[in-house]
Amino acid sequence: TSSDVLLLQMGWGDLGAFGEPSKETPNLDQMAAEGMLFLDFYTANPLCSPSRAALLTGRLPVRNGFYTTNGHARNAYTPQDIVGGIPDSELLLPELLKKAGYVNKIIGKWHLGHRPQFHPLKHGFDEWFGSPNCHFGPYDNRERPNIPVYRDWEMIGRYYEDFKIDLKTGEANLTQLYLQEALDFISKQQASQKPFFLYWAIDATHAPVYASKQFLGTSQRGLYGDAVREIDDSVGKILNHLQQLGISKDTFVFFTSDNGAALISAPTQGGSNGPFLCGKQTTFEGGMREPAIAWWPGHIPAGGVSHQLSNVMDLFSTSLSLAGLQPPSDRQIDGIDLLPVMLQGKLIDRPIFYYRGNELMAVRAGLYKAHYWTWSNSQEEHSKGIDFCPGQSVSGVTTHTQEEHTYLPLLFHLGRDPGEKFPLSFASEEYQRAVENISGLVQQHKATLVPGQPQLNVCDQAVMNWSPPGCEKLGKCLKAPESDPKKCSWPH
């Protein structure tokens, strides 16, 4: 059975099937109607790089190294000047699938490090079309180079130069390129009868948001909605292609997101987290609960809905299971195999851990969520207009100082209060029962935790994408400045 994982930045509330009021995602809604909707599905981190590392390793960022110790509970990722990346010691999903004869491709944003040793083709992928970093820019190629776009081992151009993104109109045809890559790859694998793993990691809904000309201005929701519509259309075409080729029954497809909608970019460049609190960068539900749809016609019953507490790391374990492989036994794997959930409707009892950098901020068990630390961002950042919770303010919850609640965690019942607005009374029996249970889970988790070497501590201008492999052929090599490694600055 082949696997497609479709990953992007989108909020829980961005899909019609999840209650977006414009209801402009007919293909994703159809995917949900034909497959299974996961309503309690989480990412591993309220930020992109660590979540992607978690998906591909099946391990929490605190284990696989995708976090920082430069500050307490700081969100860190892989900007151009990051020195670290995915350690060789980590076993990635495509590395493992390769042993079962899979051909693996990544299309889109890698985000697990851009120095030579972190190249996706060194970590199990056979093909790559896309970029190592976000499509921020344009840059002047002096202080900072524009981000390269790779085909396999070599760069074939740079964003804003060879791959246009018009920041004024929001026009860029990248999603169409990514779509065509996906369709071609699927056709090729079908023709060669080889099982495949396609990681379609597109980024049109990540600021700066873009859409192709044919989608610009087509949404009620503005440019962000245009991007969502184009992605929705693309997902429809991918699923249709699988059906046309007659391999839909042999291909497991999962759609989800690496973090909640970035409300900081709202309203024109930011999505919706529906009824949930805050967004990207926070460990409130809006930052980490994700839209999620599993599709596998003939296997997963149509129209299913699951309340399984689940997360991106489960896609690691589930994909291995589909390939008939065992997860590595020499390390802690945080994912679980979701096949019993999808095929037999089982519910597996397991907690969800909400990490921000090096800190376990919150834990969910059943419908209860205990916050051990609360923080949106600093007063200083907030006063500059950086707001991860625009229009939302819950006293003592969306705090602008890091507040520790270790001895009396803030407890919410996410069934009655999905928006995390009404903490349960410390004095109630319900509180005591729930916190006792969660405390046990935390103790167990911490007792066995072996944190990985933090990869996101050191930044250096010299490691930016000055001269990626292949730059000579294109005359696009740039001169790197002197190496000057520093502690990266992570303000929130």
Residues with catalytic annotation? 48, 111
Longest dimension (CA), the chain: 69
Task: Give me the 357-396 binding string for a second copy, x by CB under 8 A, dash otherwise.
Answer: ----------x----------------------xxxxx--
307 binds a second copy (CB under 8 A): yes
Q: What is the DSSP string of 148-193?
A: EEEETTEEEEEBTTTB--BTTTTB--HHHHHHHHHHHHHHHHHHHT
The count of residues in the chain is 492
Q: Which of 409, 424, 440, 441 shows the shortest CA–CA distance to 283? A: 409
**What minimum distance in Å lies between the beta carbon of 344 and a second copy?**
20
39 binds a second copy (CB under 8 A): yes
Binder to a second copy among 225, 287, 351, 357 (CB under 8 A)? 225
Binder to a second copy among 133, 173, 212, 219 (CB under 8 A)? 219
295 binds a second copy (CB under 8 A): no
Q: Is the separation of the CB atoms in 373 and 409 below 8 Å?
A: no
C-alpha neighbours within 13 Å on the C-beta side of residue 286: 26
**What minimum distance in Å lies between the beta carbon of 157 and a second copy?**
32
Q: What angle do CA 285, 286, 288 make, to 5 degrees?
A: 65
CA dihedral 207, 212, 218, 222 (to 10 degrees): 10
224 binds a second copy (CB under 8 A): yes
Strands 458-459 and 486-487: antiparallel
Binder to a second copy among 6, 13, 53, 257 (CB under 8 A)? 13
Nearer to a second copy, 138 or 275 (CB): 275
Binder to a second copy among 169, 240, 243, 268 (CB under 8 A)? 268
154 binds a second copy (CB under 8 A): no
The alpha carbon of residue 466 and the mean position of all alpha carbons in its chain are separated, in whole angstroms, by 26
272 binds a second copy (CB under 8 A): yes
Nearer to a second copy, 429 or 482 (CB): 429
Strands 154-158 and 196-201: unpaired
Instruction: Output the CA torsion sign for 203, 280, 381, 82.
Output: negative
Nearer to a second copy, 205 or 219 (CB): 219
From the list 121-129, 164-172, 214-222, 459-467, the region that binds a second copy by CB under 8 A is: 214-222
**What minimum distance in Å lies between the beta carbon of 118 and a second copy?**
37
42 binds a second copy (CB under 8 A): no
Binding site annotation covers 48?
Answer: yes
Nearer to a second copy, 21 or 440 (CB): 21
CB atoms near residue 299 (< 10 Å): 17
Q: Which of 150, 152, 3 shows the shortest CA–CA distance to 474? A: 150
267 binds a second copy (CB under 8 A): yes
Binder to a second copy among 31, 266, 292, 360 (CB under 8 A)? 266
Binder to a second copy among 5, 6, 7, 18 (CB under 8 A)? 18
* Residue 461 burial class via C-beta count within 10 angstroms: exposed 0-12, middle 13-18, buried 19 and up: middle
Listed in sequence order, the residues at least 6 apart from 408 whose beta carbon sits closer than 8 Å to its beta carbon are: 426
Q: Which of residues 158-177 bind a second copy (CB under 8 A)?
A: none
21 preceded by a cis bond (ω within 30 of 0): no
What are phi and psi for residue 104, nearest 5 degrees? -120, 130
Strands 103-109 and 196-201: parallel
25 binds a second copy (CB under 8 A): no
275 binds a second copy (CB under 8 A): yes
Binding site annotation covers 81?
Answer: no
**What minimum distance in Å lies between the beta carbon of 335 and a second copy?**
22
Helices 223-244 and 174-192 cross at an angle (nearest 10°) of: 10
**What minimum distance in Å lies between the beta carbon of 414 and a second copy?**
8
**What minimum distance in Å lies between the beta carbon of 266 and a second copy?**
7
Distance CA 94, CA 368 (A): 35
Nearer to a second copy, 241 or 289 (CB): 289
Residue type, 251: T
38 binds a second copy (CB under 8 A): no
**What minimum distance in Å lies between the beta carbon of 21 and a second copy?**
5
From the list 104-112, 125-133, 268-276, 310-318, the region that binds a second copy by CB under 8 A is: 268-276
The alpha carbon of residue 292 and the mean position of all alpha carbons in its chain are separated, in whole angstroms, by 11
274 binds a second copy (CB under 8 A): yes
418 binds a second copy (CB under 8 A): yes
Distances (CA, A) of 309 to 261, 271, 348, 430: 20, 23, 8, 21
The site for a second copy (CB under 8 A) is made up of 13, 16-23, 37, 39-40, 219-222, 224-225, 266-268, 272, 274-275, 277, 305, 307, 367, 390-394, 397, 413-422
User: Which residues are part of a known binding site?
Assistant: 48, 258-259
Indicate the annotated binding residues for Ca(2+): 48, 258-259
